[in-house]
Structure 1
Amino acid sequence: MAVIKMSNKTFQYYLSKFLQEEMITNKNLSKNTVASYADTYKLFLIYMQEKKSVSANYVTLENLNRNTVYEFLNWLESDRKVSITTRNIRLAAIHSFVKYLQIEDPAHIYEYQKILSIKKKKFCSKEVMWLTKNQIKILLSVIDDKKFMGLRDKTLLTLLYDAALRVDELICLKYNDVHFSNQTIIKVLGKGNKSRTIPLMGHTAELLKKYIKEFDIQTKKNKGYETLFFNRSGDNLTRAGIAYIINKYVDLANKNNANITINVHPHVFRHSKAVHLLEVGIELIYIRDFLGHSSVKTTEIYAKVCNESKLQALQNVYENIIDKNDKDWIQNDDLMCFLTRLSKKQ
């Protein structure tokens, strides 16, 4: 009978090797993905310290078991107040590490398989939030692009909508990603290091050209500025910074009768563009490529939104043309008699 040799390599060794070698070198995953995974393991170490009194340097492979992972996930929900979506993202990060460990540390493979059997927690998918074209127009119109920072704000929010960018794609956009020729285009690096090319039309292209000129972006690039958009201190914009910009102009837009009642986060601009493309008859497969979705199934959520909008429009213009002499079936009426009457009318 073969004897499995026990590994003397530690949890810390395997985690470091997984993040630096497996994820970055072998799988070539994006910085955002690696950062998200690293956050998961950092939270796991915080959990071990707070709830198990085991500091990061003393966490072992034996600590990584099904019960501990379950307790960690529940702790995320109860103590850290994360959503079910975030809980599932953290579980996916753990699963990825455990799949790696199965090969590197076969001595604990049975326990790793038990961890892999933990299922994602089910939840009701959130409603897609989006703005009407008129609301987008009002929101962008209240931004004074004659002011220095107003020009920046109008440019980045217009790009966020018109190019349907994810917020991280906007944050990471660089001067070299913009190409002016017969057709202005931007090259975007999206999820999973997948790149796509997005054409910019009319006013959006002109606004971007004006911003690059007024802010002297090419010179700033030569001076070491990393990204196309930055804050007053010259640092990269953050998610929180962009959320602050959005909320400021939503308040102004509502003073101009935009009637925006939803919570407008950066992804709402992307949702809105997708819905508007569908409303004018663009096929889902083209919207999939425009958004950078890996599958058209992801894009289908917008088709449902559009169908609901069409139903609402039909209800708004509905006119009753049915003869009221035709008796409808009501509760306690004889159903067979009702069906018989209907059949005689055919």
Structure 2
Amino acid sequence: MTAPTLTSLIQGFFTDRLVRQRQSSPQTIAAYRDSIRLLLLFTAQKAAKPPARLTIGDLDAATIAAFLDHLDSDRHNSTTTRNARPAAVHSFYRYALPLIPEHAQTASQVLAIPQRRYERAIVSYLTETEVDALLQAPDRTTWFGRRDQALLITALKTGLRLSELISLTTEDITTTIPGAAVRTMGKGRRERATPLTRQTLAVLRPWLKETCPLPGAPVFPTRNGTPMSADAVQRLVAKHAATAAHRCPSIAAKNITPHTLRHTAAMTLLNAGVDTSVIALWLGHQSPATTHIYRHADMAIKERALDRVTSPTTTPGRYRPPDTLIGFLEQL
């Protein structure tokens, strides 16, 4: 039996493993595709031959390690982005290993490459005043401004991921009360329904009427009616954050991204006394433990805990041992 080529293995990994067996989401397939593509281009340049002529032996542990160094030094990727690349490579090798037993040593060495540990910063989120300033930033006299405000308030009140926002269609939103909600398919192919507030509905209803969408049309389209790209949403959030900073200067000190809006939705729920298990369901987290990052970010929770602690009655100061002579006299 002829051993499979690298080309056939990669094709089988995407078409058979990801699409047919695991039924991975388009976002997962796109992320793995980008990682494998970057690796093949790097290896082809290193080996001085076209990507189609590469072999599994060219993708050994030393090459993978050099590729990760390339992501650090040349592409200046963040640690989270860097860690996503070997995750895709590991998944490919776990698929390929039973098909290439003669390369078991190479595969085991690649699979042993660990992800890099990194410091997890406290999540950044917007205060109520900053939220109001951001929602006032778009120019609502223009079509783009009304669309942007509808997108911003939906993100701030529902906590949807960026990929979920841009994939929303008109059929995913119910605006009738009771039961107003937005339905999405999140990570792990978990479907969830997130309720819509009256404030959000007051913006979404006229926006949906204005766009005159056909069934299945994107809720937040471009002028051509196509879904917005992730980069476009990131740019509009940054643009309106810069505008809002003139009204609310504290925004200028924060790096406002679409994920910041998701964090803001979670912190709003937490400050309202909602249990973290409910917040996990709201955000589509697989485990409630993921939601604990918001407890770390909430100083009010820590301050309330501190208020419950009884203060010590000792006088602060440096300890000094008593004089031996005075101590002897006091013991008489």
TM-score (norm 1): 0.86
Q: Indicate the SS of the match to 2:20.
A: helix
Percent sequence identity over aligned pairs: 27
AA aligned opposite 2:206: K
Bigger mean CA offset, 176-185 vs 41-50: 176-185
Deviation at 1:130, TM superposition (A): 0.7
> Structure 1, residues 241-283: CA drift from partner, whole Å, max 9, x if none?
1122212221221221352011101000000111111111100
Does the CA-based 8 Å contact 2:4-2:99 persist in structure 1?
Answer: no
| Equivalent of residue 329 in structure 1, options 314, 317, 326 | 317
Give the secondary structure class of the aligned counterpart of 1:217.
Answer: coil
Secondary structure at the aligned position of 1:259 is classed as helix
Q: Deviations over 1:34-67 (max 9, x none)?
A: 0000001100111112223232011101112211
Give the number of aligned pairs. Answer: 319
Equivalent residue, structure 1, for 2:199: 203
Conservation of the 8 A alpha-carbon contact between 1:138 and 1:258: no
Residue 217 (str. 1) matches residue 213 (str. 2): yes
- CA offsets 1:177-210 (integer angstroms, 9 cap, x no match): 1123332111111112221111112121232111
**Pair 1:226–1:18, CA change in 2 (3 A):** farther
Does residue 1:152 correspond to 2:147, yes or no?
yes
Residue type of the alignment partner of 1:202 = R
Inter-partner Cα distance in structure 1 for 2:239 and 2:59: 45
3-state SS, counterpart of residue 182 of structure 2 = strand
1:184 paired to 2:184:
no
Does structure 2 retain, via aligned residues, the 8 Å contact 1:172–1:227?
yes
User: Structure 1 stretch 232-241 or stretch 24-33: which is displaced more?
Assistant: 232-241
- What is the deviation of 1:176? 1.1
Output the CA distance in 2 between the equivalents of 1:147 and 1:47: 45
Using the TM superposition, give the Cα deviation of residue 92 of structure 1 relative to its aligned residue in structure 2, in angstroms. Answer: 0.7
Note the residue ranges of structure 2 that are not aligned, 5 or more in a row.
Answer: 324-332
- The alpha-carbon distance between structure 1 residues 215 and 8, as it changes in their structure 2 partners (threshold 3 A), is same
TM-score, normalised by the number of residues in structure 2: 0.89
| AA of the residue aligned to 1:234 | G
User: 1:334-345 residue pairs with structure 2 within 5 A?
Assistant: 334=320
State the match for 2:274 in structure 1: 282
Partner Cα separation in structure 1 for residue 167 and residue 317 of structure 2? 61
Partner of residue 262, structure 1: 254
Q: Deviations over 1:205-224 (max 9, x none)?
A: 23211111011123xx4xxx
Residue 92 of structure 1: which of 87, 90, 96 is its match?
87
Match of 1:120 in 2: 115
CA RMSD for the aligned pairs?
2.4
Pick aligned residue for 1:34 from 29, 33, 36: 29
1:328 CA drift (Å): 2.3
Distance in structure 2 (CA, Å) of the matches to 1:130 and 1:209: 27
261-270 or 122-131: which moved more?
Answer: 122-131
Q: Contact 1:48/1:55 (CA < 8 Å) preserved in 2?
A: no
Q: CA deviation at 1:314?
A: 9.1
Q: Residues 64-112 of structure 1, C-alpha deviation per residue, up to 9 Å, x if partnerless?
A: 2211111111111111111111111111111100000112222212221
- Unmatched tracts of structure 1, length 5 or more: 338-346
Distance between the aligned counterparts of 2:259 and 2:95, measured in 1?
A: 32
